[in-house]
Chains A and B, each alone.
Chain A
């Protein structure tokens, strides 16, 4: 069974996932951030693979990616970093990057490295369903890797049903028509969308992301899904308060 799905199955509700950019703020902070997040008790971690042109990301993740790339991060270094904590780290990891990184690294080589790091879940926001069906599904299946699909308020029911079928980890429910880093409270319109999806009784677990930034939006999201992902707000906190600020950030999300 997929690692993330197993965790979600055991824990059920209120899962907190944190996205962070590897190699940020300093090149070798990757391991420390994962360790701190693990100690703070987050449920799973998305390891961002910094990309020069992240189309689905807002300014916060763009900037952290630029800094990480300037720090000299690359896929080989990230995989080395993840290998070095493979035995000590107990928090499930997901890698999130853009398809061109996978293409250039070599699709098989990428899969081998991901699996070697003890990871079986990837998020590639610009991998469209048709390419997944025609090519990547067979490849990922052969490595036991599951691809996480995104759904949005505009995704048709038919498409969501298909995504549900392909999903072995979780469905990433994008909170609104937005790129990462959106702010504000959750609107009635978003709640109507969350309710609509909830009522579909999908077999897959649902995690809400994009625009979740604090205790209030996290708790609201958890009413309609198995948990939520926080990215930009975490990165801002990391930038302002450093690694020592991680524990209190996570605590602040869990409890008001």
Chain B
């Protein structure tokens, strides 16, 4: 029984998705495609996955009613506290699931790409947990701006390989990971967002779906109703948003808001607001919305936040945009910084720069006093302190 928001047999959400991969990768991807649903739906996997999420990751993550933020914006704002889980971001929900899948497929060598380093840390963590070999590809530019996470990965025993091509950020790290995968087909590519060739977007969405599964019963507990009016999440590749939206996708009464990074401004030429600037194209094996020039060359995106600095968006999100199921908004570097400082002052929570983008749309919304909003607080800001310190006095 497939819903409108699950991929068809060729991996398409509407016209988006598919598996545009060189023949060299076909057996690797096919092995996962043939097995992932069966593994994820098995009792054994569910027991291990949920066990680790509870005892190792620290789930369920709290759903916190943000009193002072709610007063300020005159609405009822709940925060889904992914910042409180182990390693400090939602990324670990996915890595715990995928490392178990890798294990069931008999893989022992793991590769991953990372932007902000949160996925790299989450991958290095589960590799340490399972005693697996870990190599993380990271853009040279991101290695500099997310230094604390590079140190964490190394301490966790991962090898961090700088990606020196192109814009030296997330897109290029992903290219390098895919090239390595082609050359080392026995490795397991533990992808960090709802991007890449089918079935990766669907696999990651299913593993992040735990976020909205919890929101449902937590909302019910707190308000008597499962549904908030609005859910807001930031979008890089789209995994935290996919997780926060997942169990509400078919419930059209729940408004879904995806927030992209506008960098210096959507039309400034220095932006990562893919839905506003992109057109249909292929990146990392997926047909989606892509920032590109008139000849299909991929445009280098820009955002202050390494985790949102991606020229595409997952195919599910391209479909959510195209079908208008989700509303796409965006926030500039400055708006995100302001939102981060505001959340810190008002609620005592320092968010990741990526996450700050989700909060930055609050002042732009027409809120009703009875509106119930859940913001997915995808990660904590420890890794971004250097950037925040630079802007402390500004």
Contact = CB atoms under 8 A, between A and B. Distances in A.
User: Are the chains A and B members of one assembly?
Assistant: yes
A133 to B, nearest CB: 10
B175 interface: yes
B344 interface: no
Contacts of A55: 22, 175, 178-179, 182, 284-285
Contact of B166 (A53, A125, A127, A130): A53
Interface in B14-55: 18-24, 26-27
A130 B296 contact: no
Nearest to B27: A154
Interface string B136-178: 0000000000000000000000000000011000010001001
B370 interface: no
A75 B297 CA distance: 11
B23 A105 contact: no
A179 B296 contact: no
B24 A126 contact: no
B10 interface: yes
A149 interface: yes
B24 A105 contact: no
B295 A101 contact: yes
Interface string A134-178: 100000000000000111101110010000000000000010011
Contacts of A41: none
A127 B20 contact: yes
Contacts of B295: 74-76, 101, 104-105
Given A58-B179, A103-B280, A149 B297 contact: no
A128 B23 CA distance: 7
B58 interface: no
B303 to A, nearest CB: 19
Interface centre among B23, B182, B282, B290 (most CB of A within 10 A): B23
B131 interface: no
B183 interface: yes
A131 B292 CA distance: 22
B311 to A, nearest CB: 9
Interface string B235-277: 0000000000000000000000000000000000000000000
Contacts of A248: none
A154 B30 CA distance: 12
A115 interface: no
B24 A174 contact: yes
Interface centre among B10, B165, B179, B185 (most CB of A within 10 A): B179
A98 B280 CA distance: 15
B62 interface: no
B183 A179 contact: yes
A69 interface: yes
B21 A105 contact: no
A99 B20 contact: yes
Interface residues of B, number: 34
Contacts of A98: 282, 296
Contacts of B165: 59, 62, 66
Contacts of B184: 177
B283 interface: yes
Contact of B297 (A52, A59, A128): A52
Contact of B298 (A53, A131, A174, A179): A53
Contacts of A241: none
Contacts of A100: 281-283, 290, 292, 296, 298
Contacts of A104: 279, 281, 292, 294-296
A119 to B, nearest CB: 18
Contacts of A192: none
A177 B182 contact: yes
B188 to A, nearest CB: 15
A134 B56 CA distance: 45
Nearest to B295: A74
A244 to B, nearest CB: 30
B295 to A, nearest CB: 5
A3 to B, nearest CB: 23
B282 A52 contact: no
A123 B268 CA distance: 36
A163 to B, nearest CB: 9
A55 B25 CA distance: 11
A55 B177 CA distance: 10
Nearest to B280: A103
12 contacts: A51-B297, A53-B298, A69-B297, A76-B295, A98-B296, A100-B282, A100-B290, A104-B294, A104-B295, A126-B22, A127-B20, A182-B183
Interface of A: 51-53, 55-56, 58-59, 62, 66, 69, 74-76, 98-105, 125-131, 134, 149-152, 154-156, 159, 174, 177-179, 182
Q: Give the top 10 A-B pairs by smallest Cβ distance, nearest first.
A: A104-B296, A52-B297, A150-B23, A100-B282, A100-B296, A101-B296, A154-B27, A125-B22, A56-B22, A52-B298
Given A53-B171, A103-B281, A131-B18, 19 more contacts: A52-B298, A56-B179, A66-B165, A74-B295, A101-B295, A103-B296, A126-B282, A126-B285, A128-B26, A129-B23, A131-B20, A154-B27, A155-B26, A156-B27, A174-B23, A177-B184, A178-B24, A178-B182, A182-B183
